[in-house]
C-alpha cells in the first residue's frame, strides 16, 4: 500500500464520484464496479469522495482500501439523507484541529474568523461592531437575494427555500435541484476538511451541528457554483433532474477550480497562512510523547528525585 507521502494531494484528485446499482469491490490493487452491464475499473488513489447511491453494495476490502487512500465515503439516499464514514484523513497530525478548536472556543477569535469568511464573499464590506448573529443575518440575506436573482434570470417564480425529506418530489424543481447540488458541494467540502485534519463539527458561523464547518466552507462557494447551476437546470431539464445536476456539478467544480481552492481558503479564513504541508513526522503518524522528551532530558513540570542525605 502507498504511504501518505505517495498519495496525490487533495487538490489533484477528482471532485467526487457517484455510484448506484452495483457492487463495489477491490481487485488487483484497485477498485471495480460490477453492474449488470459491465465491470468498470476505478482509480482508487484519485478519488476524494465516493457517493454511494441506492442499490450499491460495497465489500469490506473496498472500504478498507478507500480509507487507506484518504477517500471519504458518503451513503446518499434518494431523498437527500446521508450517512458519512471516513478514514483518518491525509494527515496523522492534530495541529490543525487544535488550531480550529482554539479559534472556535474563544468568542473574539471565533468572530474574527466569521468576519474573514464573510469578507471573502463580500470584499470591503464593513463589519466593525457586528455580532455573530448579525453576520449570520447578513449571510442569510445574501443567499436569499441570490436565489431571487437567479430565479428571475431564468423566468421562474421563487417562493423560498422549502423541501420535505419525507416527500422529496413535493418540492419544486428549483428546490430539488438546489438540494442535489448542495449535497455534492457539502460532500466535496467535507472530504477536504477531513483530508487536512480539521473537524467538520467546529463551525464559526454555523454551530451546533456535526457538519457546521462543512456548511461554513461550502457557503464560500454556493452563489458561484450550485445556486446558478440549480436554477439554470431547474428551468430547462424535465427528466432525471437530480442526475443531471450531479453530472453538471462535476464540470462546474472543475471550471471554478474548487478542488484547488478549498484548503487554501480554509487556511486563509483561519489566519493560518500557507499551512498546507506536512512534516515527515506527521506524515509517518509518529506523535511526540512524554517518553520522547524524557529521553532528551526535557520534561517540564516533572519533579526531579531528591538527592540522598
CATH classification at residue 18: 3.100.10.20
Q: Is residue 142 part of a domain?
A: yes
Percent of the chain with pLDDT over 70: 78
Question: Are 77 and 83 in contact, with CB atoms under 8 Å apart?
Answer: no
Q: Is residue 115 part of a domain?
A: yes
Q: Is residue 135 part of a domain?
A: yes
Residue with cell 475499473: 41
Q: Is residue 140 part of a domain?
A: yes
Q: What is the pLDDT of residue 157?
A: 92
pTM for the predicted model, two decimal places:
0.73
Same domain, 103 and 49: no
pLDDT digits (tens, 9 = 90+) for 8-17: 455 556 567 7
Is pLDDT of 19 > 60?
Answer: yes
Same domain, 191 and 131: yes
Instruction: Looking at mean pLDDT, say which of 227-236, 267-276, 277-286 comes out highest.
Output: 227-236
Domain that holds residue 18: 10-85
Q: Is residue 276 part of a domain?
A: no
Q: Is residue 284 part of a domain?
A: no
Residue 170's pLDDT band, with cuts at 50, 70 and 90, is confident
Question: Are 15 and 49 in contact, with CB atoms under 8 Å apart?
Answer: yes
Same domain, 168 and 252: yes
Q: Is residue 188 part of a domain?
A: yes
Domain boundary among 66, 85, 104: 85
Same domain, 235 and 190: yes
Same domain, 157 and 176: yes
Same domain, 133 and 178: yes
Domain boundary among 40, 59, 85: 85
Number of domains in the chain: 2
Same domain, 118 and 245: yes
Same domain, 147 and 243: yes
Domain boundary among 85, 117, 139: 85
Amino acid at each position: 500500500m502507498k504511504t501518505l507521502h505517495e498519495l496525490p494531494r487533495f487538490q489533484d484528485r477528482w471532485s467526487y464520484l457517484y455510484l448506484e446499482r452495483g457492487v463495489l469491490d477491490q481487485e488487483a490493487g484497485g477498485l471495480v464496479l460490477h453492474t449488470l452491464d459491465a465491470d468498470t475499473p476505478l482509480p482508487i488513489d484519485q478519488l476524494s469522495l465516493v457517493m454511494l447511491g441506492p442499490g450499491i453494495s460495497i465489500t469490506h476490502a473496498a472500504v478498507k482500501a478507500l480509507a487507506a487512500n484518504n477517500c471519504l465515503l458518503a451513503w446518499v439516499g434518494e431523498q437527500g439523507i446521508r450517512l458519512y464514514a471516513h478514514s483518518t484523513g491525509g494527515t496523522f497530525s492534530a495541529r490543525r484541529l487544535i488550531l480550529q478548536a482554539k479559534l472556535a472556543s474563544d468568542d473574539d477569535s471565533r468572530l474574527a474568523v466569521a468576519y474573514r469568511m464573510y469578507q471573502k464573499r463580500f470584499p470591503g464590506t464593513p463589519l466593525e461592531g457586528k455580532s455573530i448573529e448579525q453576520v449570520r443575518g447578513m449571510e442569510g440575506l445574501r443567499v436569499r437575494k441570490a436565489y431571487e436573482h437567479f430565479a428571475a434570470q431564468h423566468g421562474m417564480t421563487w417562493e423560498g427555500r422549502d423541501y420535505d425529506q419525507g416527500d422529496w418530489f413535493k418540492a419544486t424543481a428549483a428546490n430539488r435541484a438546489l438540494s442535489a447540488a448542495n449535497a455534492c458541494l457539502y460532500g466535496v467540502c467535507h472530504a477536504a476538511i477531513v483530508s487536512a485534519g480539521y473537524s467538520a463539527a467546529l463551525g464559526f458561523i454555523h454551530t451546533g451541528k456535526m457538519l457546521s464547518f462543512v456548511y461554513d466552507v461550502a457557503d464560500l462557494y454556493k452563489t458561484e457554483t450550485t445556486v446558478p447551476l440549480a436554477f439554470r437546470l431547474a428551468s430547462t431539464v424535465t427528466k432525471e433532474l437530480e442526475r443531471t445536476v450531479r453530472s453538471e456539478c462535476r464540470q462546474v467544480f472543475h471550471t471554478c477550480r474548487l478542488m484547488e481552492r478549498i484548503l487554501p481558503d480554509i487556511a486563509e479564513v483561519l489566519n493560518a497562512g500557507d499551512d498546507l504541508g506536512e512534516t515527515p513526522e506527521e506524515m509517518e503518524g509518529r506523535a511526540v510523547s512524554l517518553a520522547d522528551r524524557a529521553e532528551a532530558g526535557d520534561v517540564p513540570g516533572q519533579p526531579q528525585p531528591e538527592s540522598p542525605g
